[in-house]
């Protein structure tokens, strides 16, 4: 018999091949939420949509899958090989493997060997007569017809599967996966890698559809897409019962997954019109915002209204929270000054006064709130109002060429635990920064150390080889000098 | 949870007094775990005063007894005050300067004017 306490099982973690730069950050955060140790059997590579790992229990695999949005599924690995025939040889050998552990078939065992045989108990425990089963075939970067898939399934007929076949909700689902590389323009005839094992759990890919912005009641121009919001909630290690704040809440898109994972959520934003959903509708063709459009409405839509605390209209540059109040996580996407302005309240004029009549419903003027200023306020705020050991997760926009890890905002109370890039355009990107609070009681850090000559907006619009206007002018000039075009124009004026 | 400390010359600006003109009560799911965890984060006396000032303080003890986590009655009451009672319209008033912050459609507006920022 296998001893679960002592022997870790081997698992294949099959990922969606997108946001690859976030994979480690997300999984590591989830592992540390549940305190799960991991062993890498093969060094993870960005060129492969899978990891081969060993984990202590099946329960720990299910826990990871219950949170991760980048994991497609997890499989208890029975065999992996470079060719289909080797996979079958491995499995046949496994059926004879009575040692209770993984055995290497080669005498000259090296890391690249694909002749590993799993203990036969793994397979036999699923093959009893009372277990209904099905076999699924999944391929990466190549498509097969149903007939071809059935042929592949027939290839496993030597397995002692005694139970009945059942396609809906079987007791055991076996998975056969083929990997044809990550380059869709250069798909080889034979797979690079094939895998076989018992399906354990699916990741949270479905949540991307459920929380999709397309179907969400209330969205704004800069609402974060469902998948990235879930990644952020995971990296912030949101747990049930946590108190979570987004100080640049906007339409509340980051609060949705945090609330989904059981946190109680709070938001604040300087934009009165946004929080009262009186801004111009974001959807194409929509004329006015409807009554249900609000952050609370979104929570209701997803059945998590009980997790919603409140939102407050306030200026982040002005401290407003009670001293001593501690949040368990701060998750935010500050404005970059491109689609949403970076603003705080203020006015250039001196000795400005407001008459009593104007005071009612007055919307104050705003001045530029520079990004370095904003980020050092954010870190200082988190240093005061975040529970020790917990995390601040925020986006940071930058020009790719100029990126240098030293330019990222730092604070003595915080350790930067992860830093993943999402490319926005050829020239710009944003990085998801995750800070963990490691010290308490450090006096506020002045703005100067982080402040650099830094204006993302200016760079965003100017770093291109040519600006939009230049391009327009150039095109117009080209057209004007084009003889064909002139001829056509002359013709027009004649008729 | 909020203060008016951002106002010039205001030292603590806490607690803000609440005037409610319209209160809405919506029922939401009770989660004892959260309530237990959030109680230590609260300033109990202020919560008690605030709840009473809007007429929803019934049954809340003035002083929080230890072992509140086993007292489901109490947790349910705290749940009601924190998550179910919402001030739709009203004002928050700074205890020092008397400055009022309006609450409209359940959302407090803590913005200052340009003049107050200078």
- Among chain B residues, the shortest Cα distance to A316 is held by B111
Distance CA A249, CA A235 (A): 18
The per-residue pLDDT for B112 is 79
* pLDDT tens digit sequence for A372-394: 888 888 998 899 889 999 999 99
Of A236 and A455, more confident:
A236
The per-residue pLDDT for A64 is 96
* Beta carbons of A284 and A344 less than 8 angstroms apart: no
Residue A360 reports pLDDT greater than 70: no
- Give the containing element (helix H, strand E) for A13: strand A9-15
CB contact under 8 A, A276 and B104: yes
Nearest CB neighbour to B38, from listed A243, A305, A364: A243
The per-residue pLDDT for A3 is 45
- B27–A contact, CB cutoff 8 A: no
The alpha-helical segments, DSSP class H, found in B1-118 are 32-38, 44-53, 72-79, 114-117
The mean pLDDT value for A213-218 works out to: 89
Distance CA B28, CA A257 (A): 18
Strand A327-332 relative to strand A243-246, pairing: parallel
Distance CA A269, CA A253 (A): 13
The per-residue pLDDT for A5 is 47
Query: Tokens 């509140």 appear where?
Result: B68
Residue A481 reports pLDDT greater than 80: no
Residue A210 reports pLDDT greater than 60: yes
- Among chain B residues, the shortest Cα distance to A319 is held by B6
Residue A245 reports pLDDT greater than 70: yes
* pLDDT tens digit sequence for B23-70: 888 888 888 888 888 888 888 888 888 888 888 877 788 887 777 778
Percent of chain B's residues with pLDDT above 90: 0
Question: What's the mean per-residue pLDDT of chain B?
Answer: 78
The mean pLDDT value for A255-281 works out to: 88
Nearest CB neighbour to B3, from listed A272, A320, A345: A320
Q: How many other CB atoms are found less than 10 A from the CB of residue A229?
A: 26
Percent of chain A's residues with pLDDT above 70: 88
CB contact under 8 A, B118 and A272: no
- B115–A contact, CB cutoff 8 A: yes
With bands split at pLDDT 50, 70 and 90, how would you rate the model's confidence at A451? Answer: very low
Question: What's the mean per-residue pLDDT of chain A?
Answer: 85
Q: How many other CB atoms are found less than 10 A from the CB of residue A59?
A: 12
* pLDDT tens digit sequence for A99-123: 888 888 765 545 556 788 888 888 8
Whether the bond between B15 and the residue before it is cis, its omega within 30 degrees of 0, is: yes
SS3 letters across A155-212: CCCCCCCCCCECCCCCCEEEEEEEECCCCCCCCCCCCCEEEEEEEEEECCHHHHHHCC
* pLDDT tens digit sequence for A279-323: 778 887 787 788 778 888 899 899 998 888 888 888 888 777 887
Of A142 and A470, more confident:
A142
- B112 contacts in chain A (CB < 8 Å): 315, 318, 345, 364
Percent of chain A's residues with pLDDT above 90: 43
The mean pLDDT value for A429-442 works out to: 89
* pLDDT tens digit sequence for A153-183: 999 999 988 889 999 999 999 999 999 999 8
Nearest CB neighbour to B5, from listed A243, A320, A354: A320
Residue A485 reports pLDDT greater than 90: no
Whether this model's ipTM surpasses 0.90 comes out as: no
- B113 contacts in chain A (CB < 8 Å): 345, 354, 359, 362, 364
Q: How many other CB atoms are found less than 10 A from the CB of residue A107?
A: 5
Residue A468 reports pLDDT greater than 70: no
C-alpha distances (whole Å) from A52 to each of A38, A80, A200 are 10, 10, 14
């Amino acid at each position: 018999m296998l001893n679960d306490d002592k022997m870790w099982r081997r698992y294949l973690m099959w990922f969606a091949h997108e946001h690859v730069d976030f994979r480690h950050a997300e999984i590591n955060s989830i592992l540390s939420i549940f305190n799960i140790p991991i062993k890498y059997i093969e060094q993870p590579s960005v060129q492969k949509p899978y990891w081969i790992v060993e984990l202590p229990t099946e329960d720990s695999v299910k826990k990871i899958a219950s949170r991760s949005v980048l994991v497609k599924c997890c499989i208890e690995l029975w065999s992996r090989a470079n060719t289909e025939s080797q996979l079958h040889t491995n499995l046949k050998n496994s059926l004879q493997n009575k040692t209770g552990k993984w055995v290497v078939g080669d005498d000259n065992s090296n890391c690249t060997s694909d002749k590993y045989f799993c203990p036969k108990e793994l397979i036999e425990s699923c093959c009893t007569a009372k277990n209904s089963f099905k076999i699924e075939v999944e391929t990466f970067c190549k498509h097969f017809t149903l007939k071809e898939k059935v042929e592949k399934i027939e290839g496993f007929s030597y397995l002692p599967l005694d139970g009945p076949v059942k396609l809906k909700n079987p007791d055991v689902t076996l998975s056969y996966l083929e990997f044809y590389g990550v380059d869709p323009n250069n798909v080889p005839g034979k797979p690079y890698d094939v895998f076989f094992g018992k399906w354990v759990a699916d990741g949270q890919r479905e949540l991307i559809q459920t929380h999709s912005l397309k179907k969400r009641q209330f969205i704004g121009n800069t609402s974060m897409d469902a998948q990235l919001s879930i990644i952020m909630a995971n990296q912030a290690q949101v747990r049930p019962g946590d108190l979570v704040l987004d100080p640049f809440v906007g339409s509340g898109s980051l609060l949705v997954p945090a609330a989904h994972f059981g946190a109680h959520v709070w938001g604040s934003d300087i934009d009165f019109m946004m929080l009262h959903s009186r801004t111009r509708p974001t959807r194409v063709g929509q004329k006015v915002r409807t009554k249900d459009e609000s952050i609370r409405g979104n929570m209701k839509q997803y059945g998590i209204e009980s997790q919603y605390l409140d939102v407050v209209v306030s200026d982040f540059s002005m401290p407003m929270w009670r001293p001593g109040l501690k949040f368990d996580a701060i998750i935010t996407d500050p404005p970059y000054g491109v689609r949403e302005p970076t603003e705080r309240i203020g006015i250039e004029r001196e000795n400005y006064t407001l008459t009593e009549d104007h005071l009612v419903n007055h919307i104050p003027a705003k001045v530029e709130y520079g990004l370095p200023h904003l980020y050092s306020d954010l870190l200082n705020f988190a240093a005061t109002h975040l529970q020790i050991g917990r995390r601040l997760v925020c986006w940071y926009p930058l020009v790719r060429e100029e990126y240098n890890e030293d330019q990222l905002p730092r604070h003595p109370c915080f350790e930067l635990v992860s830093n993943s890039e999402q490319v926005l355009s050829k020239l710009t990107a944003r990085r998801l920064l995750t800070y963990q609070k490691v010290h308490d009681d450090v006096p506020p850090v002045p703005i100067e150390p982080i402040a650099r000559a830094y204006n993302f907006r200016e760079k965003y619009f100017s770093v291109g080889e040519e600006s939009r206007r230049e391009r327009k002018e150039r095109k117009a000039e080209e057209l004007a000098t084009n003889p064909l075009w002139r001829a056509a124009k002359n013709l027009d004026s004649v008729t | 949870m909020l203060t008016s400390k951002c106002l010039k010359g205001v030292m603590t600006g806490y607690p803000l007094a609440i005037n409610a003109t319209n209160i809405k009560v919506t029922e939401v799911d009770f989660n004892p775990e959260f309530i237990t965890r959030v109680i230590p984060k609260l300033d109990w006396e202020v919560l008690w005063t605030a709840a009473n000032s809007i007429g929803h303080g019934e049954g809340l003890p003035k002083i929080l007894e230890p072992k509140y986590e086993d007292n489901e009655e109490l947790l349910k009451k705290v749940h009601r005050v924190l998550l179910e009672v919402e001030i739709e319209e009203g004002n928050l008033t700074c205890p020092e300067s008397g400055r009022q912050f309006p609450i409209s459609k359940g959302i407090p507006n803590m913005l200052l004017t340009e003049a107050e920022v200078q």
